[in-house]
Amino acid sequence: MTRAAWRPLGVHSGATGADWKGGWERPGLAIPGRVQSNRAMTDSPAPLVTPQIVSLDVALGDDSAGIVRALATLLHDAGRVDDVQVFVDAVLAREALGPTVLPGGVALPHARSAAVTTPSVAVARLPEPATFRDDTDPVRLVLLIAGLGDDPAGYLQVLAKIATACVKYSFVDELLRVRTAEEMADLVGQAIGRR
């Protein structure tokens, strides 16, 4: 197929070059992992983190795959992800590119996916440190960022805000000391700038 059969991603007939969002798409072709939506991650009316997608002091698995699957299941049960396996595959593919573990025992696995119906941050505080990856220190906190497939800017903005907060030891200490899922959701929501 020639490039002429493709057009800039997000540009419809009659659009200008200013509408280009990067990448290419073929009109009429469904692209796996890409959802057609105008919602931005940071503009979503739903809060990014809620008590229903917070797990406190529950063993979720022995490695990144088990922990990510358990958090993705919480997202699914809350109606925020419609296909757990598709989302888990996207997160693990991103994780294979490089570790998302920060100093202080915090992991920030993340992915954009068509399986995500509501942008979200699922949070786990594990009862004991777990090996997230063999080449990183064990983690006690996991913040799983689920972005819409077509919102790279909003997704990166949330990722940057969470990463900035998580490199502050005082913030990590607060995450380790909260007593309820509501407190955890509030604390993470404040770091992002909204709840």
CATH number at residue 108: 3.40.930.10
Nearest 5°: the CA angle 170, 174, 179 is 170
Average pLDDT over residues 56-75: 96
98 located within any domain: yes
Average pLDDT over residues 18-23: 40
Average pLDDT over residues 150-156: 91
136 located within any domain: yes
Average pLDDT over residues 15-33: 40
147 located within any domain: yes
188 located within any domain: yes
169 located within any domain: yes
174 located within any domain: yes
Answer yes or no: is pLDDT of 141 > 60: yes
**How many structural domains does the chain have?**
1
Give residue 43's pLDDT band: very low, low, confident or very high (50, 70, 90): low
- What is the per-residue pLDDT for 10? 40
Average pLDDT over residues 61-83: 96
Distance, in Å, from the CA atom of 149 to the CA atom of 29, rounded to the nearest integer, reads 16
Answer yes or no: is pLDDT of 4 > 90: no
Distance, in Å, from the CA atom of 181 to the CA atom of 58, rounded to the nearest integer, reads 12
Give residue 136's pLDDT band: very low, low, confident or very high (50, 70, 90): confident
What percentage of the chain has pLDDT greater than the value 70?
76
- What is the per-residue pLDDT for 17? 41
Average pLDDT over residues 20-32: 39
What is the separation of C-alpha 124 from the centre of its chain, rounded to a whole number of angstroms?
13
Residue 179: give the domain boundaries: 43-192
More confidently predicted of 112 and 18: 112
- What is the per-residue pLDDT for 20? 37
143 located within any domain: yes
- What is the per-residue pLDDT for 44? 55
Q: Is the dihedral of CA 52, 55, 60, 65 positive or negative?
A: positive
What is the separation of C-alpha 68 from the centre of its chain, rounded to a whole number of angstroms?
10
Per the prediction, the chain carries an average pLDDT of 82
7 located within any domain: no
